[in-house]
Each structure stands twice: as structure tokens, then as C-alpha cells.
Amino acid sequence: MNTQSWLGRLLYGATHFEDNEEYLAFQFRFLCVLMSAGAVATLVFVLAAATGDNPMDPTHLRMMSVFSVLVLALWAWLRGHKHRFKAAAWLYLALCMVEFSSALVHVSADELRVLWFFLNIPGAYLLLGSRVGLTVTALTVVGLGLGNAHLARPYSPNAMMTAMVVLVYLGLFFHAYSSRSVSYFKRMRHSNERLATLASRDPLTQLLNARAYYQWCDHWLLGAARSGASCTVLFVDLDHFKRINDERGHAAGDEVLKAVATTLSEALRRSDVLGRIGGEEFSIFLPDTEPQQGAEVAEKLRQAIEQLSLSFDGRALRVTASVGVAGAQAGRSSMSAIQQQADQAMYLAKAGGRNRVSMLPLDASLSPT
């Protein structure tokens, strides 16, 4: 979506659109093309008038020159800046209205000049939405209806009627089209967001699933490789979880997993990342954190889990966790190597009696049983 040809770069500038900005990307590019084409076409008219091939009213000629310069400037201002799109679209619409009105008033010899207004209708709908499109259609019909009698060479009632019917038809046609296409894009964006959530979240706890979690960690490690920043991974594995399932039922086990996920999320900083990477296994990535600090966080989490007061079917449930801590420097280790180290540390904690925190290479158990 963001790979651009040389023509694209020339017309739109270097503009990055997110996956959920597909419709904005279309509108932005459409406006850039409209403005560049509009400015060039107007310059051709101006040049033809200057060489005497297309004699034109001097007031309108001046108007066209100003129009083409302003549109070129507006296009240059918009290129590469998607957040300027709305303002540029409004300004372009206003410039077109002035330009077409000038042609209507000053170029009486051109019987077809009313056609310029027809261009505004699709442009307004596609760039600024159906409400603006409808307003522009209504203003054009009313303006032409009231202004015709005051023109130096007014259109015949028949010609005016034809122009108005076609304008109204065009307005209705684009109203239906733009409302449909916008709602279609919105639904598509919503579905894409839902799909992205389904693909990256664990359905039980709503935490990142293993794939999304590791993807995030790999991305961080890659980004921090140059600076060699420290990070710590905590591997949290619930103790004797099978027993909870066997003795209290699978539903009780699910409740425990949800409660632990909430407890961990609440205890962590916003910059930390938490994923459910297996049945009763959670992994936590602490960016810019030395192992010793990470071990303190691990101990805090272990205590929070131990202190959880849970009950299922009216009976209390107790849960504890063993936590393995592994520290690393970005650029020196891969995520799978760090996770493996955290895994081994967690097994040390299990072997040491569970409900504790361990760290490699020396067993750095922080909590006595």
C-alpha cells in the first residue's frame, strides 16, 4: 500500500498511510491528481489565450492565472501531508466555485461553460462526503436558477431546465454511491480490525497470543539492536494448575487464568508487554530493564498472584506461580534464546519448590518458600 512509483512520489509526495486509512489514501490521491490536472489544464487555457488561439475575456484570464497558481501552491502544500487533506479539499472546492462562477459570468461566448459546475458534484461527494456533496448540489442548482437572468447572455429556460435536471440526477447518483462506498469502507475497516484482534489475541484472557507477543519482542529487539539497550523477560508458569482443573473443573481453571491475566496486566507498566504463550504460561517483556530490576518486578508479580483471593462455586481457590527471569542486551540475543533462558530459570524455580523467582546463570531465588 505504501510502495510508490516515481509518478506517485511526484503527485502525492512521500505519504505513509496505515492499513486502516485506505479510504483516506484514496481521497488524498484523488485530490492530488485533481489539483495537478486542474492547474495544468487551466495553464493550457491561459497559454492558448496568450498565443491568441483561444481569445478570452481579460478578467477571466486573470482569474484563471490566479486560479492555476493558487491550485499549484495548494497542491505543493498538500503533497506528503495527509493531515492537511481536509483543509486542502475545502480550499480547492472554494477555488473551483469562484473559477466556474467567473467563467459563467465572463465567458458568455462559451455556451457549454455551465458544464464546469458538473465537475464539482462528484468531487465534493468523494472528497468531503455526502452531506457536503448534497449541499454543493443544492447551492449550484439554486445559484444557477437565480443567477441565470442576470448573465450577459442568459441560458434559455429549456437549457437551464436540462442543466438543473442533470445536476440533480448527478447529485442523487453520487449521493447513493458515496454513502454506500463510505459505509462499505467502514465495515471493511471494522472487519479488518476484528480479524487483527482475533489473530493476535488469546480469546480467553484477551492478552497477546504467542505469535503476536514474540513478533512484538522481535521487533523491539531489532529496533534496539544499535543502542544495545537492556531488556528482561519474565516467564510466569502457574503451579500445579492441572490439579485445579482436575479437582475444581476446567471452568474454574479458566477463571484462574483470567484473574491471573488481569492481575499481571494491572501490575505492569504500560510499556511492558504481556502475552499468554501456553496453557498456564505467561511471558512478560520488560524493555529497557536490567535483570536485577526485572527480578524485583517478577517478585512483585509472584506476590500479587499468591495474594489473589479467588473463589469458584462458593469455595476458595489458591494459586501460585513460578517465575523465571532472563536478562539480555538487544543485538546480542534473539528472542527465542532469551525465552529459552527464562524457561530454564523457571524450571529452576519449579525444582526449588515452586512459588518463587529464579534467575540464570546463578540461581537468584528472591523468595524463600
Ligand X SMILES: Nc1nc2c(ncn2[C@@H]2O[C@H](COP(=O)(O)OP(=O)(O)OP(=O)(O)O)[C@@H](O)[C@H]2O)c(=O)[nH]1
Residue numbers of the site for ligand X (CB under 6 A)?
Answer: 204, 237-242, 245, 250, 253-254, 257, 279-280, 350, 354
CB 121, min distance to ligand X, A: 56
**Pairwise CA distance, residues 267 & 309, whole Å:** 16
Do 58 and 22 meet the contact criterion of CB atoms below 8 Å apart?
no
| Nearest residue (CB) to ligand X, 217 versus 252 | 252
To ligand X, the closest distance from the beta carbon of 337 in angstroms equals 22
From first CA to last CA, the distance across the chain in angstroms is 55
**C-beta of 84 vs 240, nearer to ligand X:** 240
Q: How far is the CB of 282 from ligand X (least distance, A)?
A: 12
CB closest to ligand X, residue no: 279
Q: Which residues partner with 224 through β-bridges?
A: none
Which one, 107 or 252, has the nearer CB to ligand X?
A: 252
CB of 297 to ligand X, least distance (A): 21
If the CB atoms of residues 123 and 253 are measured against ligand X, the closer one turns out to be 253
Burial bucket for residue 158 (CB in 10 Å: 0-12, 13-18, 19+): exposed
- Non-local (6+) Cβ contacts of 176 within 8 A are none
As measured in angstroms, the least distance from the Cβ of 241 to ligand X is 3
Which of 81/243 has CB closer to ligand X?
243
Q: Residue 82 has what DSSP assignment? A: G
Beta-strand relationship, 273-278 and 208-209: parallel
- Provide the residue type at 319 as one letter: V
Q: Which is nearer to ligand X, 218 or 247 (CB)?
A: 247
Minimal distance, residue 354 CB to ligand X, in Å: 6
Q: Which three cell numbers stand for residue 290?
A: 536490567
Q: At 114, phi and psi to the nearest 5?
A: -65, -20
Residues 234 and 294 sit within 8 Å (Cβ to Cβ): yes
For the bound state, the minimum distance from the C-beta of residue 207 to ligand X, rounded and expressed in Å, comes to 12
Residue with smaller CB distance to ligand X, 121 or 257: 257
Residues 6+ apart with CB under 8 A from 276: 202, 204, 205, 207, 208, 209, 210, 213, 257, 261, 282
HSE-CB at 91 with a 13 A cutoff on CA atoms is 16
